[in-house]
Structure 1
Amino acid sequence: MGGGIGGAVVAAASAPDCTRHLATPHEANSARPGDVVCFDGDISGDRLVITKGGTPREPVTYSGRGAAVHGITIEADNVVVEGYRTDRPEAPGIELTGDHITVRNNTVTGPRGGDGDGIRFFGNDLKIVSNTVSRTDNRNGHADCMQTFASDSPPSRHVLIEGNRCRRVDNMCLMAEGPNDEDGDGKGSTSDITVRNNYCETLTASQALMFEDVRNATIEGNTFAAPTHHAIGLAHGSTGAHVGGNELDPGIGYEVGIDASSMAGYEGPEPGGEP
């Protein structure tokens, strides 16, 4: 399995050396491409809002090194955000919007309010790697570990979701909806999402992963650790999906549910029923 499967998220031990020390995120506009930014002040009571990025070859890295924040919002291109802890933040615990963003080795515990989601993502060339999300709560909505949609928000393309742990998640580990879904805005397309080597424990949803109007999804090497009705749903034209090598809890009814509009280009185990 990937680096985030076996245990706690590693933050400080593997963190890169800081090249720019700032007191608070309000000073981040001084960051330059290639910088590794560390905040030396106490920012545990604030939501970390990142609006300054670098270039595709030299992103700005914001290194938490185990620091606590009250949630994270990324509205910038060409950034890496790693090594932060957030406990009971306003949901979503981490929200990223932009291109060429990497979010890795962060923890989100018990997000509150809104739909209760752990991570939401929107944009192109995104990497969500080795994060841990736990204890999402359906009391205020449908609390997914991770979610994307395209309703007055950018569709998501070329997304890698790898080595994450979704533990004690009330709703799904991933809900991915494209712009031509029932609630979408019809602009662009959501495609090329790879979900690999993640650990998924969903407590109340019928399926662990749901794709609606998402083309060319790859779903492989994941551990589905709770007895959902089925593991994966493909619907509303989610064509070109590739599924294989996943480990299923014995209580899961069948691995893949799919509708007729999503059958084109499907490769994987024999579908067991509806999505």
Structure 2
Amino acid sequence: MIGKVSAVIAAAGVVAALTPAATGVAEPARSRLVISQGGTAEQPLVVDGTGKDVNGITVNASHVVIRDFRLVDPEAPGIRAQGDDITLEDNTITKPRNGDGDGIRFFGAGIRILRNTISGTSNRYGHADCMQTYATNTPASQDVLIEGNRCEKIDNMCLMAEGPNEGEGSGRGHSHHFTIRGNFCETLKASQTLMFEDIQHATIEQNEFAASPVKAIGLAIKSTNATVRGNKVSPGIRYEVGIDDSSRPGYQGPKPGGRP
């Protein structure tokens, strides 16, 4: 039993459907959904929430699809995904609480975050980002696609991405090839909407940056070979890109307006 839904553990490649509990059966307090075994590259495990609510989701497995959950006031992070070939799609996360207050945290290669809506993250719990990744006691991340998401009323950043060599990381491996495309990003209190530290080969395109942070994008600590193009930037944002000297090699995009 998982709160108001029960999980059917399915074979790889079969949707793990979440169905209402039987009428009249006593249910425990809402708990967190934990996925510790995935599928294969050919047949990923698909977990379809069909619009149900749980107290957050943790994935510690590879080849997993998490789809169509509606998480209201979940324990933060609303979704935490660690592994390779993980897709988070069509989920809604509203007002994650406790922890650092983040909506989504992800770690690994081949992560896809698609068409999710995350709203109402609050800095009362820490530095509450819509999405975050780092590489301290977690793996570096590569080949990440973040597309078509809405980050609404986010106190901190829409994305905080830190590689393993940014000064506080593990020093093992590299984080690279992030594509951030077609997202709506509303940052209320941070000085930038997206921040990259030690992330190489980031492509940031066709996003809408709302509200009025100082800048839309920060590139720092050898975040080299970034490409920035085709974004819509709110008039309240002073400049689209801030960059440090270590991140300038290979940069393609609008003229930076200042520091990251």
Structure 2 partner of 1:32: 11
Structure 1 partner of 2:91: 106
> Runs in 1 of length 4+ with deviation above 2 angstroms?
41-44
Cα pair 2:134 2:169 within 8 Å, conserved: yes
1:61 has 2:46 as partner: yes
Letter in 1 for 2:210: A
CA offset at residue 24 of structure 1?
A: 2.9
CA offset at residue 89 of structure 1?
A: 1.0
Equivalent position to 1:129, from 103, 111, 114: 114
CA offset at residue 53 of structure 1?
A: 1.0
Distance in 2 separating the partners of 1:214 and 1:271? 17
1:215 has 2:200 as partner: yes
Cα pair 2:154 2:187 within 8 Å, conserved: yes
Instruction: Tell me which of the two structures has the higher relative contact order, counting C-alpha pairs closer than 8 angstroms and 6 or more residues apart.
Output: 1
Letter in 2 for 1:90: E
CA offset at residue 183 of structure 1?
A: 1.4
SS of the residue aligned with 1:57?
A: coil
Output the TM-score relative to the length of structure 1. Answer: 0.89
SS of the residue aligned with 1:139?
A: helix
Structure 2 partner of 1:141: 126
Q: Deviations over 1:248-271 (max 9, x none)?
A: 000110000000000011000001
**Structure 2: gaps spanning 5 or more residues:** 22-26
1:231 has 2:216 as partner: yes
Q: Deviations over 1:50-91 (max 9, x none)?
A: 112111011010011111111010111101010001111111
CA offset at residue 41 of structure 1?
A: 3.9
Equivalent position to 2:138, from 120, 141, 153: 153
Q: How many residues align?
A: 250
- Range with bigger deviation, 130-139 or 48-57: 48-57
Structure 1 partner of 2:167: 182
- Range with bigger deviation, 205-214 or 48-57: 48-57
Aligned identity (percent) is: 56
CA RMSD of aligned residues (A): 1.2
CA offset at residue 46 of structure 1?
A: 1.6
SS of the residue aligned with 2:235?
A: coil
Q: Deviations over 1:72-127 (max 9, x none)?
A: 10111101010001111111000000000000000110011111000000000010
Q: Deviations over 1:28-55 (max 9, x none)?
A: 2xx2221111022448812111112111
Cα pair 2:161 2:196 within 8 Å, conserved: yes
Structure 1 partner of 2:24: none
Structure 1 partner of 2:105: 120
**Structure 1: gaps spanning 5 or more residues:** 1-22
Instruction: Write out aligned runs for 1:191-202 (5 A).
Output: 191-202=176-187
Structure 1 partner of 2:82: 97
Structure 2 partner of 1:255: 240
Distance in 2 separating the partners of 1:63 and 1:115? 26
Distance in 2 separating the partners of 1:145 and 1:112? 12
